[in-house]
Chain A
C-alpha cells in the first residue's frame, strides 16, 4: 500500500461515521415526528371527527396547559379519552413491539426472512387464547385470554428453542424447521379447539386470529406499555452484540460473543414483545417482517439504529393501518391483521425481488 493511495481512503471511514451520526438523528427524528403526526390525526378521525388542533388542545389541557381549542362536539372529549387515545396508544405499542421483535429475530437467525411467527409465538399464543375461549377459563377475569396467550406464546418459543438445541449449539436451519413443525402442531390444536367450541366460541376465535384493536382500553395499555418498554430497553442493550452475530456463530464467538446466551436472551425478549402485542390484539402479521426490512434499506444493517428505528416505524405503520381499518368502510371495523397481510404480502414479494437484485443486505 502506498502512502498516496491510503491517505484519502483512511479518512473515508471517519467521514462515513460523521454522515452516519447525522443520518441516525435524521431517521429517528423523522420517524418520531411521523409517529406524533400519525397519532394526532388517527385520534381525531372516525365516526365522530375531531380536528387535529382540537385533539392537541385536549391533550394540552389535560397536561395543565391552556393551549389550543377544546373539542367543540359535546361527546368529543369523551370519545378521545375513552375510545380513541387508548386505541391509538395500543396500536403504537403493538406496532413497536412487533417490529422490534422482528428485527431481533432476524438478527438472531442472521436472515432477513426470519420472523417471530417462525418460532411459534403467534400460533402458540393463538392456542392459549383459544383454549380460554373454548373452555371458559376465568382464572384472571376478563384478562384470561390475554394472559393465556402470553404464557402459551412464551412456552412455545422456549420449546422450539430447547428442541432445536443440540450440544450447546443451535443450528439456524434446525431451529426454523422445528418452528415449522411446532407451527403445524399448534395449527392442528387451533383447528381442534374450533371444532370443540360452540358457534359463539368459534366466532370469537376467528375474530381473534384475524387481529383487531377494537375495544382497546387503558387497562390494556397499562399492561402492554411496561412489557413493550422492558422489551425495547432489552433489545437496545442486545443490539451491539447482535451485529456481531452476522459473522456467523463461530466467528461471533471468536470476537467475544457468548452466542448461546445471546440467542436465549434474545428469544425470550422476542417472545415477550410478540406475546405482549399479540395477546391483546390478535395475530397481526407482516409488521415484524417488513418494517425492519424497510428500515434496513435506509439505515443499513447495524442494530443500534435498526432496533429503535424499527420500533418507531412499526408504531407509525400500525397506527396508520388501524386508522385505515376503522375508517375504510363506514360503521365497520375491518380486521387489522387481514389488512396488514393483504398489503404486506405483495409488498414483501416486491422487497424480495429488489433485495435479490441489489446484492447488499442479502444473506
Chain B
C-alpha cells in the first residue's frame, strides 16, 4: 500500500520559520484534510510533501523512499498535485490540458490507457462538455475543475490537493471531494488543504490541524474539530454542532445590540 510520510519537517523561508518539526503520515485509502489559519503552513507543507520544497530538517518518504532528488518523471507517476492557482500560457483546449496529466506515462505500457483515462477523468470532474473549449476562456471554477481532471488523469496513487474547492460552488465542492473520497476508496492516499472545516469534517478520515508551523492536532474529525481547540487555534470563538450526524463548524458571531451603522 502506498504511503507518504513526513517526519520532523522544518523549513525556513525568507528568514521566517514556516514549519517546525511537522510529522504527518498518509497511507492508501485515506483522505487527510490539512486545516489551519492563514499562514499556518498548509500550502508550504503540501509543497514539501510534493517534493517542490526541500525541508531544512526532517525528511519526506514516498513509498518508503526519500522524495528528494528523485527524477520528476518518476515522481509524477506516484503523486499528482493540484495547485491553488492554475495558469496556462497558451490557448490549449480543455481536452489537451487534461491529456497533459498523462505525460509521465508517455512511452510506457500504461500509455494505452491514455484515451480512456482522459475521458473518464473529464467525466468525473464534470468537465466533459467543456472538452473543446479553450482553457483561458473558462471561468475560475471551471479552470479549477479542468486542472482537477488533469490530476485525476495522472492516475497517481498519491493526490495532493491545495484548496481544490476554493473557486467552486456548493455543488462542485461536494462533487470534487466526493471524487477525492472515491479515489481514496480505490487505494489512493489523498491530502487535501481545506479552509471549510465542515467540508473537512464530512469528507476526511483524518484532520491535521496546523498552527504556526506545528501540528496542533491530528486525528479523526470528531476528535480534532472541537470547539475549545478551534477557538484557541483560530483565535476566534468557534462552535461545533452536530446536524443529523454530520459535524458543522460555525464561527460565533457577536450580535452587536444597537449597531451604530444600522439603518434607522
Residue positions of A touching B, CB distance < 8 A: 1, 5-6, 9-10, 12-14, 16, 110-112, 240-241, 243-248, 250-251, 253-259, 296, 300-302, 359-363
Interface residues on B, range: 35 or more
**CB<8 Å pairs between A and B, sample of 22:** A1-B126, A6-B128, A9-B128, A12-B131, A12-B132, A13-B95, A13-B131, A16-B93, A240-B106, A244-B100, A247-B88, A247-B97, A248-B87, A250-B81, A253-B72, A254-B80, A255-B100, A255-B150, A296-B90, A300-B93, A301-B91, A360-B137
B residues 53-76 with Cβ under 8 Å of A? 71-76
Complex: chain A residue closest to B81, CB-CB: A254
Q: Is B77 an interface residue (CB 8 A)?
A: yes
**Given A9-B128, A9-B131, does the pair A301, B75 have CB atoms closer than 8 Å?**
no
Are the CB atoms of A361 and B76 closer together than 8 Å? no
Please determine whether A246 and B92 come into contact, CB atoms closer than 8 angstroms.
yes
Q: A112-B90, A300-B92, A300-B93 are in contact. Are A254 and B132 (CB under 8 A)?
A: no
**Contact at A244–B103, with CB atoms within 8 Å?**
yes
Q: How far is the CA of A1 from the CA of B129 in the complex (A)?
A: 10
Residue of B at shortest CB range from A355? B91
**Distance to closest chain B CB from A66 (angstroms):** 47
B132 touches A110 (CB 8 A): no
In the bound complex, how far is the Cα of B258 from the Cα of A146, in angstroms? Answer: 83
User: Measured between alpha carbons, how far is A256 from B155 in the docked complex, in Å?
Assistant: 13
Establish whether residues B119 and A10, one from each chain, have CB atoms under 8 Å apart when the complex forms.
Answer: yes
Assuming the contacts A10-B119, A13-B119, A255-B101, asked whether A363 and B132 have C-beta atoms less than 8 A apart, the reply is no
Using CB atoms, name the residue of chain A closest to B125. A1
Residues of A within 8 A of B100 (CB): 243-244, 247, 255
CB distance from A103 to the nearest CB of B (A): 11
Q: Which 3 A-B pairs have the closest CB atoms?
A: A256-B76, A110-B89, A301-B90
B24 at the interface (CB under 8 A from A): no
CB < 8 Å: which of A12, A255, A296 contacts B104?
A255
List chain A residues, Cβ under 8 A from B154: 255
Whether A363 lies near B131 (C-beta < 8 A) is no
Q: Is the CB of B90 within 8 A of A256?
A: no
From A16, A112, A248, A259, contact of B95 by CB (8 A): A16
